[in-house]
Structure 1
Amino acid sequence: MPAAPGGTSAGAAPVSVENCGTTVTVGTPPERLVTLNEGATEVALALGLESRMAGTAYLDDAVPEKWKAAYDSVPVLSAKYPTKEKLLTARPDFLYASYASAFTDKVAGTREDLRGQGVASYLSPFGCSDKSQVPPTTWQAAWGELHDVAQVFGVPERAAAIQHQQEQQLAGFTTTAAGKDLKVLWYDSDTKSPFVGAGHGGPQLVLDAVGARNVFADLPGGWQNVSWEKVVAADPDAIVLADAGWDTAQSKIDYLEHDPVLSKLGAVRRKAFVVVPFSESTPGVRLADGAARVSAGLSALRPAS
Structure 2
Amino acid sequence: MDPVESVGDFVSKILSRKTSARSITTYRGHGSTEFKLSPSIFRKSLNRENEHILLRELIAAHPEDFNGDTTTLEILVRMQHYSLPTRLLDVSMNPLVALYFACESIKKRVPTVRAGVKGTRSVESDGHVVILEVSKTRARYFDSDTVSCLSNLARLSWKYKRQIDLEQELESFNESTAVKRLLHFIRQEKNGFLAEIEPEDLDSVYLVKPKQNNKRILAQAGAFFAFGMTEEISDTNNDGIKISRITIDGEAKAEILVELDKLGINEKTLFPEIERAARYITGTLTPSVMSRLVS
Shorter-chain TM-score range: under 0.3
TM-score (normalizing by structure 1): 0.25
Comparing both chains, which one has the higher relative contact order based on Cα–Cα distances under 8 Å and sequence gaps of 6 or more? 2
Structure number having the greater helix percentage: 2
Q: Which of the two has higher C-alpha Rg?
A: 2
